Amino acid sequence: MENQVTNLILVGTGGQGIVLASRIIAWCAFKSGFDVKESEIHGMAQRGGSVIGQVRFGKKVFSPSIPTGEAHIMLALEEIEALRYSHFLKDEGLIILNLKQIPPPSLDPSFYPKNVSELLRMKGYKILEIKAEDLAKNLGSTKIENTILLGVLSLFLPFSVETWKEVLTNFVPQKFVDLNLKAFEEGRNFAKKILQSRN
C-alpha cells in the first residue's frame, strides 16, 4: 500500500479537450510531489472520434498504461464513451459522467443508448452525473465545460486547491483565467452539494 498508484482515465471524443485536461491533471500530480505517467491519447483524435487519456500517479509509477480493471476514476466527457471504456474501471470505481451525447459518425443517432447512467450502475460503478455544459452556459461560455468537470474531479484527488488553480492559470489563455477559476469553483461546489446530499 505504501506505493499505491492512483489510476485515472479520461474519455470522450475528438475536439472535447481531453489532451489538455490530461496534462492539467498530470501537472497537478507532479507539483504535488508525485511520480506521474501520462499515456498517449488513444483512438482517433479528429473531431467526433473516440479518445482516451490515462494519468497514473504515486510514489513511483513504472508504466503509463492502466491495466484493464485497474482504474479508480473515470472522467467521462461524453456518455457513450463511458460505456465504451468502462472495462478499465475497478469494481465499484467512480465515473464522473458528463451528461452529454455526441453520437459517433458511424452510429445512427436513433440507436444511441438512452439510459447510459443506468447501464453503468448495473455494472456496479458509482456514478456522479453532471450537466457541465449547462453550468458553463450559466457562467457565460461553453468553452469552460471541461474546467467545471476538473472542479468536480478535484474533490476526489489529493491535490490542493491552490495547486489546481496555479496549474489552470498556467494552462489557459491569460484573458480567460478568471472565468476558468470561476468554472473550477462551480464544479467543486456542485460536487460538494451532490456528496452532501448522499450523506
Q: How do residues 20-37 score in pLDDT, each as one tens digit? A: 999 999 999 999 999 999
Least confident residue range of 56-60, 114-118, 161-165: 114-118
- Provide the pLDDT for residue 2: 54
- Examine the pLDDT at 47 and tell me if it is beyond 70: no
- Examine the pLDDT at 197 and tell me if it is beyond 60: yes
What value does the mean pLDDT take over residues 133-157?
Answer: 97
**pLDDT band (50, 70, 90) for residue 14:** confident
- 3-state SS, one letter per residue, for the chain: CCCCCEEEEEEEEECCCHHHHHHHHHHHHHHCCCEEEECCCEECCCECCEEEEEEEEECCCCCCCCCCCCEEEEEECCHHHHHHCHHHEEEEEEEEEECCCCCCCCCCHHHCCCCHHHHHHHCCCEEEEECHHHHHHHHCCHHHHHHHHHHHHHCCCCCCHHHHHHHHHHHCCHHHHHHHHHHHHHHHHHHHHHHHHHC
Report the sign of the C-alpha dihedral through residues 153, 156, 161, 164, in that order.
negative
- Provide the pLDDT for residue 46: 57
Q: Which residue has the higher pLDDT, 39 or 10?
A: 10
- Examine the pLDDT at 1 and tell me if it is beyond 90: no
Burial of 99 (0-12, 13-18, 19+ CB in 10 A): middle
- Examine the pLDDT at 153 and tell me if it is beyond 70: yes
Q: Which residue has the higher pLDDT, 122 or 106?
A: 122
- Provide the pLDDT for residue 125: 96
What value does the mean pLDDT take over residues 181-193?
Answer: 97
What value does the mean pLDDT take over residues 59-76?
Answer: 95
Arithmetic mean of pLDDT over the chain: 92
| C-alpha atoms less than 13 angstroms from C-alpha of 188 in its C-beta half-sphere | 15
In the chain, % of residues over pLDDT 70: 94
